[in-house]
Structures are given as C-alpha cells and as structure tokens.
Chain A
Amino acid sequence: MNVAVIMKQVPDTEALIKVAPDGSGYVKEGVKFVMNPYDEFGVEEALKNKESAGAKEVTIVSMGSERAVEAIRTGLAMGADKGVLLKIGENEYTDAFGVAKALAEELKGGDYKIIYCGKQAIDDDMAQVGPMVAQLLDIPCVNVVTSVELSGDKAVCTREIEGGKEIFEVSLPAVIACQKGLNEPRYASLPGIMKAKKKPLDIKDVKLEGAKSEIAKWEMPPERPAGRIIEGDDPAAKAAELVKALREEAKVI
C-alpha cells in the first residue's frame, strides 16, 4: 500500500503577522516558513505505517509557491520517499476548494490507501481541505484524529469532539486529518537531510481554477488598551482587589 501526506508550507508559529497597508494580504518578507505543524503528525504517522504496517512508499503532496519545496524536503528528510509540488505563483490565490480540487486531481491517480493531512493549516485556520478532498474523491474522512489502528482494509480512528471522543471505523482508502496527540513527529536527521536532496521531487505547474471565494480584506486585530497591575501589601490584598475589579469594573463574575 502507498500512503500520501497532504502538506502546506506556512509561516512559523513565532512569526509576527503584519497586514499590508492596503489590506490585500500579509507581509511575507522576513517571515520564516515551515511545514504546517499539524501536517508533521501526518508525515510521522505515514512513516510509522511504512515501518510497521507494510506501507511501501510515502509521497508528500503540496500546493504552493516554489518556496514550498523547502517544506517538502523537510518531509523527505524525515523519511518520506518522494514529493510532488503543485506549483502556483507566490501571489496567486485560490481558496480551500480550489486547493482541494487540484490535490484531489493529483491524488486520484496515485492508488493511495491512506491520505494523511493536518486538521487545519495554522495560517488560514480554515480546516477544510481534508474533508473537501475526501468528498471530491468520494472516500471517507475522519477529522481531528488522535489515534489510528490499521487492520487489513480498515482503519479505526479516534477523533476529538467537544468534551470527549468519537471512534470511527472506515474502509480504506480514506483521508485522515491529524490532531496533536496522535504521535511525536521525528526530527530530520543529518543523514536524512543529505539523502533528501537526492529523493525525487516532481514540480508540476497547475492552472488555478475552481476558487469559489475571495478574501475581500485583511485587517489587524483591534489593539488592547493597556492594562493595570493590581497592587496590594500581600497576596490576600491583591486577590481582594482583583476580585473587586472583576466584579465591579469588568462585571465578569
């Protein structure tokens, strides 16, 4: 069986995001880009399937600008076998539906038993691509997954819901959207990084079509007014002052 991982390159979680003055996007200069943290769980799970569940080959499929090659190489250095980049221009825009369409088209030919992805990308926070790809391929999807057990042509997955868990059984092929807790992603080793340079990485130009939405405007969050340090002679006095303020000023308790 072959396994694919859908991966997106996103700004590092440390990045300070600045909206461009004309509201058309965010400033990319000076921003460090990394593999979407939730996708790392997908890569790790795919590699585990290779080590102990008989997966033959792990392919990383990404859509993005030329820069996304770096993130694909990170996945190859972790141990994936090959990469595919569906390349678009740095400032070309499509939405989750457009991305899902292109990815589904690419994945259709691959004979993949499992398609892993992150439960969401930490840049747009849309959480749509996994279930959309599954729908377009007409296969099941389990979302926000914290454990996967494979047996033959089936997978039993645990997913997080409000205040608990749901356990789903799906027949393969399926899309599994990963959540923190599923595993501990490995680091790319130095030999891994060396080997990654020689692994196949196919860059395909794709024509953007299928976007069904647009971002009308980007804005910065409203500034929070400066707060107040609660003073007092001892912890008890500070506590009393805080509770008074929460009651009388903020009116939240």
Chain B
Amino acid sequence: MAKEVLVFAEQRDGALKKVSFEMVTTGRKLADQMGGECAAVLVGDGVEGIAAELGKYGADKVFVVEDAKLKNYAPDLYAQAVAEVAKDAKILLGGASAMGKDLLPRVAARLETAMASDCVKFDLDGDALLSFRPVFAGKAFVTIKVTGSPQIATGRPKVFPAEENAKAGAVEKVSVSLGDAKAVLKETKIEAGDRVDLTEADIIVSGGRGMKGPDEYKILEELVDALGATATVGASRAAVDAGWRPHGDQVGQTGKTVSPSLYIAAGISGAIQHLAGMGSSKYIVAINKDPDAPIFSKADYGIVEDLFKVVPEITSEVKKLLAE
C-alpha cells in the first residue's frame, strides 16, 4: 500500500499520546490534499489493541511493529523499526515530544534525509511539504522544504487539532529483525503531582524574581488549582537560578518554548530571553508593580500592582466564576 503520509504514533505503557492523534489528524488532511493515503506506525510490545484508536482520527492503515525488545523506548531499535516502515513514504510526521525529538532525527539520519523540527503549521506545494516553524525561540519564523525523501517533520504538541475522522484503519503487522539495544531504559520516574507539563498546558501562571522566594509560589499554585487541570506553574530563569523552582519549569529561549491559550506572568520583567519563549501564547497577562516593565509591551492585559496583593484576589474571583 502506498504510504503518502505516515505518522509515527507515540505510545508509552500502552497508552497513545495525544500528540499522536494531533499528527494523524494533520497527516490525514495532507494526504487528502495529495489524493493519497495516510498511515500510522505504532511501535511497542503488545500494542496492537490500541491501533484502532488511530483509525478514528483518520489513519487508513496502522503498521504495527511488536517485539519484546520494544516494550520500553529504545532509541536505536525504535529508529530501526520506524525507518523500516517509513522508507517508501513521501512524508513522515511525528510529535515534537521528548520521544519524537529524540527518535525522528535518528530516523532521518538512517534514511539519509533531513527533517523540520517543532513545526506549528504545514502546507503543500504539490507533493512538497512546507513546514512553518519558529527559530530563535520565536524571534523569527522559517519555512523549511525537505528535498530528501521521506520528508520528515515533527509538529509541536497542542498546536494542531485532534479531530475524529473515522476511517476504521486496517492493522498490518510488520516484523523487523532487531539487534540488541545500545541505549537501555533502566527506569522511568514520573514526578508526583497531577499537573500537566508546561508544553502541554492550556494555562500557565509563571513567577519570576518578584516572587521573592520558593514558598511564595504557593499563591501561584492556588491560582493554578482554581484554573483547573489544564493549568500549571512556570518560572523565569531568575527564579530557577535562585533555586526556587526546578529548571524544568523555566520558560524562555534557554527554557521551554510554550504556547498556551493564557500565560500569566507575575513578577517577571520581560527580558528578551523570557519573551522569546512565551511570545506566541494566545493571551498574555502581566502583573508587575513597575509600570515601565518591558513585559507590558507584550501583554494583552496588564495589571500594575503588587502581585502579593492582586494574585490572591484573582484566585478568589476565578473560584467565584467557576463555581457559578
């Protein structure tokens, strides 16, 4: 079967990642424009049962590579398996998740082709994929055209919609003869706490040096709790370097690039490196007692006020509103 568009479907512990549905939906649309087929490739051990879920989002076919050696993420073996299925595809898409970012460059090198990472929009010029993506953490954008084959690209999580588009994908097992993994996963530690990751959050409340210390983040956490399960806490580098927050919370050019629907910056001045990482948020709220703070020039809504006075008030307003 022709695989005009193939999507790497990421699963962990037998559960498909949401970005996989986003990419299958995107792949489906591209395949329709090309008048071709959209397939998915699923790699793991005992994962055939979840293959049908990909069909719901529009995959005509799901190639399943199963092997006990693929139970945990093994970068070199996964790359071998995906490259095997992808070698005659025109386009290979995946999510720009921790796994996708690690795996797909290996697949590209294996197939002697290039790729575009962390894209936020795709287009077609005939059969050529045009990938639109931020550079310099969003200070500029480029359009990439891969001239090698397949044309590989990863899409940023949460940017593309996941839409059901039932195609009742057929499942085809593919066997790949694998050697021994060169990098072996010994342990996965998922941090306690039920908050979403920054890159997957819909709402981010970030605190900077203006928070004054680690314990004061409690007021941001209370606001996040009031805003619900899709909200989480972020930080500026000043707060991370002070040891108030883990470095995984850092938003900015050398932290995470985020694009939530709502970004609330409390006690953050708006240094260029910070703005670079959050500038593509849909709505930005700045809370700063200094009316001249540069963050206000990027904000949709600004509050000039002591954050310790206004954040708890916002929390109680949100609680009131959501209780209605």
Question: Known contacts A213-B114, A230-B302: does B185 contact A167 (CB below 8 Å)?
Answer: yes
Question: How many angstroms between the C-alpha atoms of A240 and B301 in the bound complex?
Answer: 13
Say whether A216 contacts B130, CB under 8 Å. Answer: yes
B146 touches A168 (CB 8 A): no
The one of B118, B248, B262 in contact with A125, judged by C-beta atoms closer than 8 angstroms, is B118
Assess the B310–A235 pair: CB atoms within 8 A. Answer: yes
Question: Complex Cα distance A224/B250, Å?
Answer: 23
A14-B273, A160-B248, A213-B148 known; A166 vs B313 contact (CB < 8 Å): no
A140 adjacent to B76 (CB under 8 Å): yes
- Known contacts A17-B136, A132-B108, A229-B302; A235/B145 CB under 8 A: no
What residues of chain A lie closer than 8 Å to B134, measured between beta carbons? 125, 221
- Tell whether, in the assembled complex, residue B191 and residue A164 are in contact, meaning their CB atoms are under 8 Å apart: yes
| A-side contacts of B138, CB under 8 Å | 221
**Do A212 and B148 have beta carbons less than 8 Å apart?**
yes
Are B273 and A221 in contact (CB-based, < 8 A)?
Answer: no
- Across-interface contacts of B98 in A (CB, < 8 A): 144, 159-162, 166
Tell yes or no: A227 within 8 A of B by CB.
Answer: yes
**Which residues in chain B, 266-324, are within 8 Å of chain A measured between CB atoms?**
272-273, 276, 279-280, 282-285, 291, 296, 298-306, 309-310, 313-314, 316-318, 321-322
Q: How far is the CA of A151 from the CA of B287 in the complex (A)?
A: 49
Does any Cβ of B come within 8 Å of A190's Cβ?
no
Residues of B within 8 Å of A162, CB to CB, are 97-98, 197, 199-200
Interface, chain A (partner B; CB < 8 A): 11, 13-17, 19, 26, 37-38, 95-97, 100, 122-136, 139-144, 146, 156, 159-171, 174, 179-181, 211-221, 224-225, 227-230, 235-236, 238-240, 242-243, 245-247, 250, 252-253
Distance in angstroms from A64 CB to nearest chain B CB is 16
The stretch among B34-42, B58-66, B253-261 that forms the contact with chain A is B253-261
Min CB distance B269 to A, Å, is 14
Are A242 and B141 closer than 8 Å at their CB atoms? no
Question: Smallest CB-CB separation from A97: which chain B residue?
Answer: B114
| Contact status B106-A227, CB under 8 Å | no
Which residues of A sit under 8 angstroms from B97, Cβ to Cβ? 162
Q: From known contacts A141-B106, A253-B227, infer whether A126 and B186 are also in contact, taking CB-CB under 8 Å.
A: no
Number of interface residues of B (CB under 8 A): 94
The answer to whether residues A14 and B148 also contact, given A131-B109, A218-B140 and a CB cut-off of 8 A, is no
Chain A to chain B contacts (Cβ below 8 Å), 25 pairs? A13-B253, A14-B273, A19-B140, A38-B254, A97-B115, A97-B148, A130-B105, A131-B105, A141-B102, A141-B106, A146-B247, A163-B190, A169-B183, A170-B184, A213-B147, A214-B147, A217-B142, A217-B143, A218-B140, A224-B279, A235-B309, A239-B303, A243-B317, A250-B300, A252-B283
Which of B99, B136, B303 lies in contact with A161, CB distance below 8 A?
B99
CB-based contact A216/B318 at 8 Å: no
> Chain A interface secondary structure, helix, strand, loop or mixed?
mixed
What is B's interface to A at a CB cutoff of 8 Å? Answer: 73, 75-76, 79, 97-99, 101-103, 105-106, 108-110, 112-118, 130, 133-148, 182-191, 196-197, 199-200, 203, 227, 246-248, 250, 253-255, 257, 261-262, 272-273, 276, 279-280, 282-285, 291, 296, 298-306, 309-310, 313-314, 316-318, 321-322
Question: In angstroms, how far is the closest chain A Cβ from the Cβ of B103?
Answer: 8
Distance (whole angstroms) from the CB of B112 to the closest CB of chain A: 7
Residues on B with C-beta less than 8 A from A19 are 140
Q: Is the CB of B303 within 8 A of A238?
A: yes
Contact partners of A174 in chain B: CB under 8 A: 182-183
A247 CB contact (under 8 Å) in B112, B139, B321: B321
Is the Cβ of B101 less than 8 Å from the Cβ of A166? no
The A-B contact count (CB < 8 A) is: 271
Do B140 and A227 touch (CB < 8 A)?
no
| Contact B117 A126, beta carbon cutoff 8 Å | yes
Nearest residue, chain B, Cβ from A230: B303
Do residues B114 and A212 form an inter-chain contact, with CB atoms below 8 A? yes
Chain B hits for A214, CB < 8 A: 144-145, 147
From residue A135, how far is it (CB to closest CB) to chain B in Å?
4
Question: Beyond A212-B147, A215-B145, A239-B310: 9 further Cβ-contacts under 8 Å?
Answer: A17-B136, A97-B108, A164-B189, A181-B246, A214-B145, A219-B140, A219-B143, A235-B306, A250-B301
Distance to closest chain A CB from B126 (angstroms): 13
Given contacts A167-B189, A236-B313, contact A253 B284 (CB under 8 A): no
- Could you say which residues of chain A place their CB within 8 Å of the CB of B188? 161, 164-167
> In whole angstroms, what is the CA distance A100 to B187 when docked?
29
Q: State how many angstroms separate the Cβ of B225 from the closest Cβ of chain A.
A: 13
- Tell me, rounded to whole Å, the shortest Cβ–Cβ distance linking B81 to chain A: 14
- Choice from B145, B200, B227, B291 contacting A213 with Cβ under 8 Å: B145
Closest Cβ of chain A: how far from B272's Cβ, in Å? 6
Minimum CB–CB distance for A133 against chain B, Å: 8
Q: Which residues of A contact B112 (CB under 8 A)?
A: 97, 212
